[in-house]
Structure 1
Amino acid sequence: NLNGTVNLLDAAVANGVGKFLFASSSSVYGNNPKTPFAESDNVDHPISPYAATKKAGELICHSYHHLYKLPITCLRFFTVFGPRQRPDLAINKFLRMVGSGQAIPVFGDGSTSRDYTFVGDIVEGIRKSLANCNSYHIYNLGGDSPVTLAQLIATVEKVVGKEAIIDRQPMQPGDVNVTWADLSKSRKELDYAPQTSLEAGMAKQWEWFKQQG
């Protein structure tokens, strides 16, 4: 994450790029006890190396903006899902495994929650961020509707039309308990407004998955 970000920033400065967007992550908030997460919250305590690199990326972006006056916007994505999602990520994996009758690994008691965000809403947020990229900004892009792991599995069952087989596993140390985007700033400054519910987006992802054969 870090080397790639620096290489792209150097290339942007060398080639006179007018705007730069950095794909950050909700993971920078760590186990923040305050919800929903606002851009002004303290993000100095990441609980995974991935989160630490995203926080570092935001700081590097700030330094390039300061030194070279490059307009940069950092977008903190919240659990993106939808067609073409990576096969190792939860919703893609759950759809595939429930559909084929395999047991799905469930870490913890199912009470952890995530602010799932459909990829189409993320794309719209990116488009609006480009239009507003004139200084150094940080914005949350989320769905504003946290869903527990148990609720996620129930939605998978509904979309696929099969009951899930659960393989209970202990909670992983790098996992956070909850993610939830405060969208006040992105709504006000970007006119960002997510439109797609978890079930509607998952149905689109399931249809795409079946078309892949």
Structure 2
Amino acid sequence: MTWLADTRASYDTVADGYADLLRDALADAPHQRAALAAFADLVRAAGGGPVADVGCGPGRLTAHLHGLGLDAFGVDLSPAMVAVARRDHPRLRFDVGSMTDLDLPDGSVAGLLAWFSLIHVPDDEVPGVLAHFRRVLRPGGPLLLGFYVGDRTHLKTEGYGGHPMRVHVHHRPPERVEVWLRGAGFEVEVRTLLDPYREFPGAILFARRA
């Protein structure tokens, strides 16, 4: 798939710049930290176990979840991103992989985080990705999604230090994502908007494998 190859190549190109830019971003994001802490509580309440950070990039959120006491590991499409994650967080596990064909056993994870990592997946591919998320989650396991709100797609050609990129960024209404989640076998529990009055607002959805 061309979009997968473009996404992999783009993030391979910007991996170091991306890691440097976002390394301390959570320090100025108390609402995001609160959402991640709530997710950690939900994982523990469901019995605990391995947690997958899918689309982990340089591993900053994987490490944050580990700091919250979770057995977190990361998966990312970009080998360069995984190399940065392994360098910066050598005691944690990071694997190269695609959320379109998630190489994890059925029911093997207690929770799954996909933090602004669905934004490059075309609409017609999202239901299949969510089906993989459901497959690898244990029954009752929590899912936390972050994504951009809107109803448009734009082509990103440069980013993170001025490096060339070629990725489509999809902004979606939360209602559409909720429909996809329910269709994939999830129960949606909470929807929260981030920075609703900024140019590119975000949304957080908490769901659970039914």
TM-score with structure 1 length normalisation? 0.25
Structure with the higher strand share, 1 or 2: 2
State TM-score, norm by structure 2. Answer: 0.26
Higher relative contact order (CA 8 A, sep 6+): 1
Decide which structure has the larger Cα Rg and report it.
1
